[in-house]
Structure 1
Amino acid sequence: MTDTAKPGASVPGSGADAVDRRRVRLIMVGLLLGLFMSALDQTIISAALRTIADDLNGLSEQGWANTSYMITSVITTALYGKLSDIYGRRPVYCTAVAVFVLGSVLCGLAQSMTFLAVFRGVQGIGAGGLMSLAFAILTDLVPLAERSRYQAWFGAVFGVSAVVGPVAGGFFAGLDSFMGASGWRWAFYINVPIGVAAALIIASMVRIQPNRAQHKFDIAGLATLVLCLVPLLFAVEQGPKWGWAAGGTLGLFALGLLGLVLFLLAQKRAGGAALLPTPMFRNPLFSVYNAVNMLVGAAVFGALSVLPLYLQMVKGLSPTQAGLMMLPQTLGIVVAGRIAGPFVTKTGRYKVVLLTGLVLMVAATFWFGTLAADTALWQTGIAAGLMGFGIGLCWQVMLIAIQTGVSPQYMGAGMGSFTFFRQIGGTAGIAVFLSMFFGAVGDRVAAAYRDAASDPAYTAAVNDPSVTGQAANKVLLGAREGAVPMDNSSFLDRADPRLAKPFLHGMAEAMQIVFMVSGVMLLIALVLAAVPKEKRREPAAAPGGAKDAKEPAGRN
């Protein structure tokens, strides 16, 4: 709905056509910068998070740094599309970038994990618009026949950020100081120049939108969505600490369920102005594939939030080394994307690609579930590559599968639902799986120390006063009773290997639980995805064909 000169409207080869295409390419650069900033932020922070948490003395609270980001980005993902319909794409997109940059600066200035979590929430408010509005602006700019070519660049951006992010995160985390600030703070400050460039391009190149929607903003939908998501996710985060049957936990779950009921009622009442129009959910294809989308989001984001901890804490890799260990996964995503896109475009078949991706992800996740403290790193690398290939196949076609169940008049909201439900799943997955890990690690470590009593090397270290008198080793001896210190893990770097061995084995076993649960969730998603009958898409027409001529190029 951005007011653009339509590429298909100009006479081919005319000066106006050439100018318009140059403008489209410049707008794409701005959108790609915004997407790169958002995607880079997630991967760069994952690699640096252990260092950040150790520096701020809040390793056990690190889940909130991701959860607060995900909560606010989920909520605002559902808002930005509707806001841009009412107020225009250009001002809403630039606002999203500005909020994200502000949040990045505040994160870089944070002095505690509590403040970091709050400021990550500010980042998330901006991040919610960077992806959803990029797709909306692209839909306005180019006709359907050309759209897949541009969407491939969006996928490439995520592949590049997945490569650059872990390495850059490890690099910044490894710096003691840079230009007067701790190295990890530059993992946030790097967003500033990228965001400024993206906002300037979009502000100058995207034209004013003349035909804006006249709907009123769905305030009731927003309020009830917040009432639903925030209590549910807070309950999941605090459940292991409070107890799942505690009054506070049950009260939050009840409040969240009440919010869900009220949200559904608000959406039904809002009609065309709803954040998520209810008629979309009457189509079983749309409902089932979004359920799969949410399950996959929970399983993947949850499992991958724990994998960097395994590489850094259990295997002792530096942040940079851990980032490089994720390269096989990145390569898998990129290669699979290059295979899946042309196959679906040529044949119109998406279900076989989706199911193949899920099978590979199930296999990879259960492989992760076998990783122990003494597992060779090459096994982790192969499993990560297999996981990446599955992700590349699955999410490359997930949006296509969801679109097959959406009526044309709801296509914009349907596209937004893809990000919305994936983010809901990812938010819940990170909160649940990190809570599961921190809840299980104490018992697993204590059991590992009991089993180590028969190890002569361990017994010799326990009975050596020169070993037990060291501060790092005293921390490990306290872990024998389940008192596992999770706010700062830097003591492992100075601990006696004989005393640290049971600790690392217990950590790995706690992580295995997370990976196994993730695998079960992906199995459920696989079964669910196999149920709907494939609604075959028509293969892409040749350029200049009848379909291209009939496709409008300006509106969602």
Structure 2
Amino acid sequence: MNKRIDESRLRKILGGLMLALFLAALDQTIIAVVLPNIAHELALPEYLPWVVSAYLLAMTVATPIAGKLGDLFGRTRLLYGAIVLFICASLLCSLTRNIAELVAARTLQGIAAGAMMTCILGLIGELIAPAERGRYQAWFSGMYAIASLAGPLLGTFIGEWSWRGVFLINLPLGLVALFLAQRGLQGLANSRTTSKVDYLGCGLLILSLVSLMLLITRIGHGEPWRSAEHAAMLLTGTLGIMAFSYWQTKAREPLIPPTLLRIPTLRAGLILMLFSNFLSLGLAVLIPLQAQSSNATLLLIALASGVPVGAYSGGRLSSHLKRYKPLILAGCAALPLTLSGIAWTVGSQLPLLTFLFLTGIALGLQFPTVLVAIQNAAPHTQLGVATACCGLVRGLGGALGRHC
């Protein structure tokens, strides 16, 4: 693919990519408010949490594999396939007759969403010069936050008609996203590498991640952590990670090249991204639990609205300064202060809203700039893998923050 394109062509491409990212992020949260309706119609309410968790688990597991496949076969082809799969899976979700079918369809949705997000962020890194990536990645971080915030609100509105409507809305929006993406990307060469798929590595990674994510999810749903089943999951996940790590040092075409993780900037960025997403999702769950129900939505809005403000400001400043490290450090330095403010102002609404908004800004400063730092540090041939690693740690951090 051409590494640099003109501004007008880029804006045409961004429309479809941002809409696709919006859909992937939206379906993380839009389903939550219609779960009671689903339980009433499909019964078996004890399995309802898996309607949400299956999507998040599949999305997390799919990201590193999608990153490698994007490097091998081209991100544009994989993106088109992922959008089509997302549309089909959404249709299946709307037609399900029981909880088992809905969880299976949500799993397909999650796989497609993980591939979509990885391809989109990888394309931004491929199409845009390093000095300008922060500005555009900020748009996508802001869109992600807006979609997460809009999910419950849109779900409430559509749920008054039918819970199946929260999936049917993806059909026209998905088709528009596919049309816009194809129109914008048409004629651009499909960048790809000439290596093979590490099938054994894929299998080991899926086995270990599914085991660990299932363990986190089950414990987060209130199941007792001391059980033989959970011990087996922990053992399987741990041994799977060890086997995967060993195999990556021996494989001719590793799924996640060990040399990539030896880059200091990339290691530090992944750790920071894990912590940031743990914190953001943890606060999104914890703060409403500590507040009165009438204030929960307002508190979430304060936190979520700060993220796009910080992301946009950080992206613009990084493009202007041609540096991203000062902004990352500023966000890291601000977090202890804003979190201390939250701890001391719980119960006092206006100060709490202020500190939540400032926390969102501090987190927003980090999201696009850390991603840009990782993409700039990674070799161009491994851009998709590096971006996918970001999605992987983002999903793990979110799962830990949501369930711990």
CA distance in 1, matches of 2:47, 2:336: 29
CA distance in 1, matches of 2:107, 2:351: 36
CA deviation vs aligned residue, 1:307-364 (integer Å, no higher than 9, x gap): 55x38xx7344xxx85455322233112222322233334455444334434554555
1:116 corresponds to? 102
- Kept in 1: contact 2:314–2:369 (CA 8 A): yes
Distance 1:196 1:68, change over 3 A: same
Query: Structure 2: where are the runs of 5+ without partners?
Result: none
- Measured against aligned partners, the alpha-carbon deviations of 1:93-150 in whole angstroms (never above 9, x if no partner) come to 1110111122222333445555433322111110012222113333443444554443
Q: CA 1:289/1:370 → structure 2, altered by over 3 Å: closer, same or farther?
A: same
SS at match of 1:275: coil
Larger Rg: 1
Aligned to 2:369: 397
Return the alpha-carbon distance in structure 1 between the equivalents of residues 360 and 121 of structure 2: 23
Equivalent position of 2:27 in the other structure: 41
Q: Give the aligned residue type for 1:7.
A: I
- 1: distance between equivalents of 2:335 and 2:371? 18
Aligned amino acid, residue 82 of structure 2: A
**Mapped partners of 1:170, 1:376: distance in 2:** 28
Deviation of 1:405 after TM superposition, in Å, equals 4.8
How many residues align? The count is: 402
Which residue identity does 2:5 align to in structure 1?
P
TM-score (norm 2): 0.85
SS in structure 1 at match of 2:238 = helix
1:224 and 1:376 map into 2 onto residues whose CA distance is 49
Q: Could you tell me how far apart the structure 1 residues matched to 2:142 and 2:121 are?
A: 15
Counterpart position of 2:176: 197
Residue 110 of structure 2 corresponds to residue 129 of structure 1: no
C-alpha distance in structure 2 between counterparts of 1:306 and 1:163, whole Å: 16
Deviation, 1:49, is: 4.8
CA–CA separation in structure 2 for the residues paired with 1:94 and 1:337: 27
**Equivalent position SS for 2:30:** helix
Q: How far apart are residue 231 of structure 1 and its match?
A: 1.3
Letter in 2 for 1:391: L
SS in 1 for 2:194: coil
1:292–1:119: structure 2 CA closer, same or farther, 3 Å change rule?
same
Q: Which of 170, 187, 190 is the matching residue for 1:207?
A: 187
Quote the offset at 1:64 in angstroms: 2.5
2:302 pairs, out of 328, 334, 338, with 328
Identity over aligned pairs, percent: 27
In the alignment, structure 1 segments of 5+ residues that lack a partner are 9-20, 434-556
C-alpha distance in 2 between matches for 1:75 and 1:243: 24
Residue 263 of structure 1 corresponds to 244
Residues 239 and 135 of structure 1: CA distance in aligned 2, closer, same or farther (over 3 Å): closer
**How far apart in 2 are the matches of 1:54 and 1:384?**
35
Match of 1:28 in 2: 14
Query: Match of 1:450?
Result: none
Q: Corresponding residue for 1:460? A: none
Change over 3 Å in CA distance of 1:55–1:388 after alignment to 2: farther
Shift of 1:380: 5.2
Change beyond 3 A, Cα 1:116–1:385: farther
Query: Do the aligned partners of residues 53 and 77 (structure 1) sit closer, same or farther apart at CA in structure 2, a change above 3 Å counting?
Result: same
Q: Match for residue 266 of structure 2?
A: 286
Q: Indicate yes or no: 2:301 matched with 1:315.
A: no
**Structure 2: which amino acid aligns with 1:300?**
S
Rounded Cα–Cα distance in structure 2 between residues aligned with 1:6 and 1:384: 38
Distance 1:238 1:89 in 2: 34
Alignment of 1:421-460 (within 5 A): 421-430=393-402, 432-433=403-404
Shift in Å, 1:7: 3.0
Aligned to 1:65: 51
CA contact (8 A) 1:73 1:127 kept: yes
Residue aligning to 2:73: 87
1:424 shift after superposition: 2.1
Q: Identify if the C-alpha distance between structure 1 residues 322 and 109 changes in structure 2 by more than 3 Å, giving closer, same or farther.
A: farther
Aligned to 2:141: 155
